[in-house]
A and B are shown apart, each in its own frame.
Chain A
Amino acid sequence: MNPKASGHSLKFIQALRAGFPGAMTEFTAEAERISIEEGIQSGLNYLARAEVMLGLRRLRLAVYDHAFHLIGGAQKYGLTLTAALQDRFDITLIANKDIRLEDFRDWYDLDLSGCAVKIIKIPFYEQKGAAFLDPALVTAKVENPFHLVSRESGDYDFFVNNSMNEMVYPLSNISVLICHFPERLPRSYFYADRYSHVVYNSRYTASWVERMWKFKPHQHIYPPVDLEGGGTAVPKKKLILSVARFEPEGTKRQREMIEAFLKLDRLYPDIVKDWRFVLVGGSEPRNRYLDGLTRLAKDSPRKNVELKVNIPAAELRALYREASIFWHLCGIVHDHPSEVEHFGMTTVEAMEHRAVPVVYDGGGLREIVDHGVDGFRVRTTGKLLEYSIRLIRDPGLIRKLGEAAHAKAQNFSRAGFEERVRTFFGRLLSEYNPR
């Protein structure tokens, strides 16, 4: 919405800032003209920009996510971005379900105490009693329930939509859509192309934005990965690790990995003697897929498959430190591009701790792991076993690739992410408030 007021309109604000005689009259006339010809919101946006350019108040930024109340990589992305911008903006977090800022400290180690929170309940979902607001439920047959948020977006200078929800129409002067993945083809209430800037988390995501939404997103910023504790190398244990949420649909492919490990154990026990396979992940209380995995692990003859659900961050870090090999097969079976890992934050975390990644050759994982240099990429479970056996037999290779993986992981640090975010928003700011 009117991201860059025309040079002509800006001239009146600049004249006001310079204190030229008669500037106020011309400015008032311009504001009134804009509100009549371009609409009420454009008029308000013009005044908002004038307030900022004249130093009457700090910049206002809102970050919206309909899933802030749930733990997730996308939410971590949006909130880390928020933390990085706290000193430059007055920030409001907009959510549709109740959230507590203290939770973000526990979940992501982020201090957002300087932010305000605004909860906009969406009656369409409240009536359904849904814990998760699935945008796919909204069809052209119903009024767009997210327009409550669209309306709110007009009260800020900058509006950042961190949701995988392209149904919020941005009304602010500057609008940024963080695209974690284009989940749906354009259909009713599609406004992704109405944002002044679209940020993407990996080249994989960008390629699908182009294919599905038919436009090029603007800014690439990789997700933030917490890199701590992997500074010095510690002796590794005979441990293969997997870290991924236990999705009820099984899209992270833990079953395939357990079956491959158990097959190896059954057909050639000598090779994985003393090795364990540990799968870590978060899960909802009721999860049939996880129940199935638990049975599979329990039935393993040598009890060398372990599942660890919703464990504390410290325990996970200890496992990362001990692990020699990291498996991640999300995408190995898929019938939609969104089922392939868009980026792969846990893979980077494992690499930082010198665990050698053996991961699916697709999606964002291709941007993280260089085959044969800092890990291996595979397209089948046969190849997963081949490269894993090679590593198991050659501790020297684990050390060599582990060191390379550690070095590569530094490219995706939280500090680097914050730097990229500040640079990007700094550029937007200088356009918004030219000196």
Chain B
Amino acid sequence: MDETTEKEIRRLKNDLLKKKGEVEDIRALANREIDREFQTEALDLAERDIEPFIEKSLSDIKENLVLKAEPSTLKSHRKILGRPVLSLKRMFMSWIDLYTGMILDKQNRYNRSSFDLLKVALLRSRWSKEKLKDLEERLGECEENLVIMINKVEDLQARLEKEKEPAAQK
């Protein structure tokens, strides 16, 4: 390779390295957006991640448990006509609120019941988990004992048969 090529590549490189030194952001270097949003897919969670996920979800639900009609701020850009228009609007809205309030109350009662049911179901699942763990441990212990006992019995049987043999020969 001739010297000119080498020199030219070095020149181009030094030029870019200088520019790289001036750029701090990795995104600018890569010339693309590199970070993305990831939503946790509940079905991908491992056992270890489930409890923190439940805690977070419950607190999110609790925060949004009660639905309230948002009080709207009514304004008008008309100086003279604005006031009567706003009064009419307010009257209409308070009449509407009577109906929406009824629906929202029903929804709130439903939300509260669902939330309580969710909490109780969670409680039951936690107790069941504890019980299952306890049962597993006891089952494991039984299995260990059984293995040992079977071997012990087999040994005793073999010994008994050995003792019987000389007696039979006599």
A residues contacting B by CB (< 8 A) are: 1, 16-17, 24, 27-28, 31-32, 35, 38-44, 47, 50-51, 54-56, 147, 150-151, 154, 169, 171, 185-191, 194, 211-212, 260, 263-264, 267-268, 270-271, 334-337, 380-383, 385-386, 389
| Residue of A whose beta carbon sits closest to that of B51 | A335
Q: Is the CB of A267 within 8 A of B148?
A: yes
Q: Given known contacts A43-B16, A55-B1, is B28 in contact with A191 (CB within 8 Å)? A: no
What separation, in Å, do the CA atoms of A312 and B32 have in the docked complex? 50
Closest chain B CB from A62 CB (angstroms): 16
| Chain A neighbourhood of B143, CB < 8 A | 380-383
Q: Is the CB of B29 within 8 A of A40?
A: yes
What separation, in Å, do the CA atoms of A389 and B152 have in the docked complex? 11
| Chain A neighbourhood of B160, CB < 8 A | none
Question: 8 interchain pairs (CB within 8 A)?
Answer: A42-B31, A51-B9, A55-B1, A190-B36, A263-B144, A264-B148, A334-B47, A382-B142
| Chain A neighbourhood of B44, CB < 8 A | 185, 211-212
Closest chain A CB from B35 CB (angstroms): 7
B residues contacting A by CB (< 8 A) are: 1, 4-6, 8-9, 12-13, 16-17, 19-20, 23, 26, 28-32, 34-36, 38, 40-41, 44-49, 140, 142-149, 151-152, 155
Q: Is the CB of A335 within 8 A of B31?
A: no
Closest chain B CB from A321 CB (angstroms): 28
Q: Is the CB of A335 within 8 A of B5?
A: no
| Residue of A whose beta carbon sits closest to that of B22 | A40
| Chain B neighbourhood of A186, CB < 8 A | 38
| Residue of A whose beta carbon sits closest to that of B43 | A211
What separation, in Å, do the CA atoms of A54 and B1 have in the docked complex? 7
What separation, in Å, do the CA atoms of A169 and B33 have in the docked complex? 12
Q: Given known contacts A56-B1, A385-B147, is B19 in contact with A24 (CB within 8 Å)? A: no
Q: Given known contacts A54-B5, A55-B1, is B148 in contact with A268 (CB within 8 Å)? A: yes
Q: Is the CB of A24 within 8 A of B16?
A: no
Binding site secondary structure of chain A: helix
Which listed residue (B4, B8, B20, B46) contacts A44, Cβ 8 A? Answer: B20
Q: Is the CB of A268 within 8 A of B48?
A: no
What separation, in Å, do the CA atoms of A129 and B71 have in the docked complex? 51
| Chain B neighbourhood of A154, CB < 8 A | 20, 29
Q: Is the CB of A41 within 8 A of B6?
A: no
Query: Nearest 6 A-B pairs (CB), nearest first?
Result: A39-B31, A382-B143, A335-B47, A336-B48, A186-B38, A336-B46
Closest chain A CB from B26 CB (angstroms): 5
Q: Given known contacts A28-B12, A154-B29, is B35 in contact with A335 (CB within 8 Å)? A: no
Q: Given known contacts A24-B5, A24-B8, A188-B35, is B16 in contact with A151 (CB within 8 Å)? A: no
Which listed residue (B16, B46, B47, B48) contacts A47, Cβ 8 A? Answer: B16
Q: Is the CB of B140 within 8 A of A35?
A: no
Closest chain A CB from B166 CB (angstroms): 22
| Residue of A whose beta carbon sits closest to that of B48 | A336
Q: Is the CB of B31 within 8 A of A380?
A: no
Closest chain A CB from B116 CB (angstroms): 28
Closest chain B CB from A128 CB (angstroms): 22
Q: Is the CB of B26 within 8 A of A263?
A: no
What separation, in Å, do the CA atoms of A28 and B35 have in the docked complex? 32
| Chain A neighbourhood of B29, CB < 8 A | 39-41, 151, 154, 171
Q: Is the CB of B30 within 8 A of A189?
A: no
Q: Given known contacts A211-B44, A267-B148, is B13 in contact with A24 (CB within 8 Å)? A: no
Q: Given known contacts A31-B12, A39-B29, A147-B26, is B17 in contact with A260 (CB within 8 Å)? A: no
Q: Is the CB of A1 within 8 A of B30?
A: yes
Q: Given known contacts A169-B30, A188-B38, is B46 in contact with A382 (CB within 8 Å)? A: no
Closest chain A CB from B156 CB (angstroms): 11
| Chain B neighbourhood of A190, CB < 8 A | 36, 38
| Residue of A whose beta carbon sits closest to that of B34 | A169
Which listed residue (A169, A185, A386) contacts B26, Cβ 8 A? Answer: A169
Q: Is the CB of B31 within 8 A of A44?
A: no
Q: Is the CB of A40 within 8 A of B20?
A: yes
Closest chain A CB from B102 CB (angstroms): 42
Q: Given known contacts A28-B12, A169-B30, A171-B30, is B146 in contact with A56 (CB within 8 Å)? A: no
What separation, in Å, do the CA atoms of A32 and B155 have in the docked complex? 85
What separation, in Å, do the CA atoms of A335 and B16 have in the docked complex? 49
What separation, in Å, do the CA atoms of A150 and B28 have in the docked complex? 13
What separation, in Å, do the CA atoms of A39 and B16 have in the docked complex? 10
Q: Is the CB of A39 within 8 A of B30?
A: yes
What separation, in Å, do the CA atoms of A114 and B16 have in the docked complex? 29
